[in-house]
Structure 1
Amino acid sequence: MRIAACIGSALLVLIAGSPAYAADAPAVKAKAAYVVDSAGTIHFDKRETARLPVASLVKVMTAYVVLREARLGDTVTVTAADVRHAKSNGATTAALGKGERLTVRDLLHGLMLPSGADAANALARRYGPGKAAFVRKMNATARSLGLDDTRYTNADGLPEPALGGYSTAVDQVELARRALANPVFRTIVGREVHRVPKSAVHRAHTWRNTNKLLSQADDVAGVKTGYTRAAGFCLLFAGERGGRQVIGVLLNDQNERRFSTAERLLDYAGSQITIG
């Protein structure tokens, strides 16, 4: 009996100290999710290859293409069509006005922080040139990055059911990894607020990041929120944990829950890195 007890105690010690018996992954109720770190370790996956609408996560590719095509100091004139596009579709806006001239750097903040469809329209129109040409660039870039389960139909993620845009959790995480390698992109998506002082060619703007994770958790690097009725609430997120970059995505979740779930997933990945 004493021998059996000793063996049992030894087994308990081995189990407790084994990475295979680390803390359970957090519950994730999003339709699809994927979390991976910079060493290539997958920490969570759920329907990660399912093709789904991703709402405004589309704007990550918009920013990625613009950063390859434009100079940050270029100026873009906002048109009535840019303003009308956002308002008529009930989309989130950067509150741009007809005739304003803003730099690409500022428009990228208006695109990524308040998720302005007006900023997306202006950038796509300028750097297609024209929206159709810009979408072709988005899809060509997706192919070049190996995002074979991603198809874009516009630059802002507004639903167009007849055209059938989609992506996957795996593709979104890979796109974020590529985008975050650009220090300008990384700086923009990591900001909680960006202010544009009034000038002779544009109004003053204050844009606040829709990503609550930035103020809710430590060492978070962004990346992007999204919502449409078809896509549900989405969140592409990244942070530093255990000395590694961790990137994840939640597709079709609930509004506030996506932020708390993302925080738990980041911390869970950190705990696995530490144990490993």
Structure 2
Amino acid sequence: MHDRKAPLLLGAGALALITGLAAPAHARTATPQVPSVAAPAVLPADSAASRAVIDPPRVYGKAAILVDAETGAVRFREAENRRMPIASLTKTMTAYLVLKSAKPGDLVEVRPEDVRYARAGGGTTAYLRAGDRLPVKDMLYALMLPSGADAAHALARTYGPGVSGFVAKMNATARQLGMNDTSYVNADGLPMPGSDGYSTARDQAVLGVQALRDPLLRQVTSTRRHTAARTATHRSYTWSNTNKLLGSPGAVGLKTGFTRAAGFSLAFAGERAGRLLVGVLLGESVSSRRFDTARALLDWGGRVGV
């Protein structure tokens, strides 16, 4: 189902997402005014141009949503409230939460347990070396580009303090943002026996809009390749982004994900017709198709929103 007029339904806590009240400590700005949502122009119902504009692209995943980041208007929705595992989309909350308390230059030490966790869980890794101390900014690249479970574990352990404490903060923050159909069980999205986490396309869109309000997080998630040069505290690293949507005109972040239970997922964003659109695809069965679908949704959303 697609809906060109309905606003994203946000609770009182999620109002901070739209107004900017919950900006991180290192990037607080004056609170912007919430713009009114104007109904998009509608072409004559029987015109060929109308059908070309109104008909959305086909979505193959199990759930999807596309929203206007400025107004909260929903451009497209399909099973957007269905609770599902979201795999590494979880790491967006990890990055967002770290930046609420940490400074980009703060050093995070990688410990053997962080490396062991990623290997034992079968997750993707940033190949961090135990004993290295990296700035938070570089750890975010390690977290979001190659989707490093080792980086997620190190950040959660450091800023919980302890992983369990950090996960509790993740869930508390989700409630504050109005993400009422979300439950995190770890900082990386790997499945855990008997306690799988879940979220919805709608909730992840709420988080995506908020996350992209942070200039550093937007920069990190929009970067295709990042090199952390060798310093006195760590060796050199180079990470490539798993998001193949990047490089397309106007593409901005955000995060890929995959587990067998979740399928292929994608939180994405792009600038179209002067507006930032944020979308989420969950439960796709073909990895490459999620990027084609996201691109098509952004192009379509840019047309129906003008």
Q: TM-score, normalized by length of structure 2?
A: 0.83
Residue 57 of structure 1 aligns to a residue whose secondary structure is: helix
How far did residue 22 of structure 1 move? 2.9
CA-based RMSD of the aligned residues comes to 1.6
The one-letter code sitting in structure 2 at the alignment partner of 1:172 is Q
The one-letter code sitting in structure 2 at the alignment partner of 1:41 is A
The 1-side partners of 2:158 and 2:112 are apart by 14
- Residue 106 of structure 1, aligned match among 125, 133, 138: 138
- Residue 115 of structure 1, aligned match among 130, 140, 147: 147
Residue 253 of structure 2 aligns to a residue whose secondary structure is: strand
The one-letter code sitting in structure 2 at the alignment partner of 1:233 is F
Distance 1:13 1:130, change over 3 A: closer
Q: Which residue of structure 1 aligns with residue 227 of structure 2?
A: 195
The 2-side partners of 1:119 and 1:263 are apart by 29
User: Which consecutive segments of 4 or more residues in structure 1 shift more than 3 A?
Assistant: 17-21
Which digits, 9 at most, give the CA deviation of each residue in 1:126-161, with x for residues without a partner? 000100000000000001001000000000000014
How far did residue 230 of structure 1 move? 0.3
Q: Are 2:289 and 1:257 equivalent residues in the alignment?
A: yes
Q: Which residue of structure 1 aligns with residue 11 of structure 2?
A: none
The 1-side partners of 2:297 and 2:53 are apart by 14
- Residue 242 of structure 1, aligned match among 265, 273, 298: 273
Contact kept, 8 Å, 1:51 with 1:167, in 2: the verdict is yes
The one-letter code sitting in structure 2 at the alignment partner of 1:121 is H
Contact kept, 8 Å, 1:19 with 1:272, in 2: the verdict is no
Q: Which residue of structure 1 aligns with residue 124 of structure 2?
A: 92
The 1-side partners of 2:192 and 2:115 are apart by 19
Higher helix share: 1
Q: Which residue of structure 1 aligns with residue 5 of structure 2?
A: none
Contact kept, 8 Å, 1:39 with 1:244, in 2: the verdict is no
Which moved further from structure 2: 191-200 or 20-29? Answer: 20-29
Residue 96 of structure 1 aligns to a residue whose secondary structure is: coil
Residue 88 of structure 2 aligns to a residue whose secondary structure is: helix
How far did residue 40 of structure 1 move? 2.7
The structure number with the bigger radius of gyration is: 1
Distance 1:13 1:65, change over 3 A: closer
Contact kept, 8 Å, 2:75 with 2:305, in 1: the verdict is no
Q: Which residue of structure 1 aligns with residue 95 of structure 2?
A: 63
The 2-side partners of 1:28 and 1:127 are apart by 38
Matched-pair identity in %? 53
The 2-side partners of 1:13 and 1:20 are apart by 9
How far did residue 222 of structure 1 move? 0.7
Distance 1:103 1:18, change over 3 A: same
Contact kept, 8 Å, 1:53 with 1:167, in 2: the verdict is yes
Total equivalences in the alignment: 262
Unaligned runs of 5+ in 1: 1-11
Q: Are 2:264 and 1:219 equivalent residues in the alignment?
A: no
How far did residue 13 of structure 1 move? 7.1
The 2-side partners of 1:204 and 1:14 are apart by 58
How far did residue 21 of structure 1 move? 6.8
The 2-side partners of 1:28 and 1:171 are apart by 18
Q: TM-score, normalized by length of structure 1?
A: 0.91
Q: Are 2:142 and 1:128 equivalent residues in the alignment?
A: no
Which moved further from structure 2: 36-45 or 239-248? Answer: 36-45
The 2-side partners of 1:127 and 1:60 are apart by 15
How far did residue 203 of structure 1 move? 1.1
Which digits, 9 at most, give the CA deviation of each residue in 1:195-251, with x for residues without a partner? 011122211100111000002x21011100000000000000001111111000100
Distance 1:273 1:161, change over 3 A: same
Distance 1:202 1:13, change over 3 A: closer
Unaligned runs of 5+ in 2: 1-42
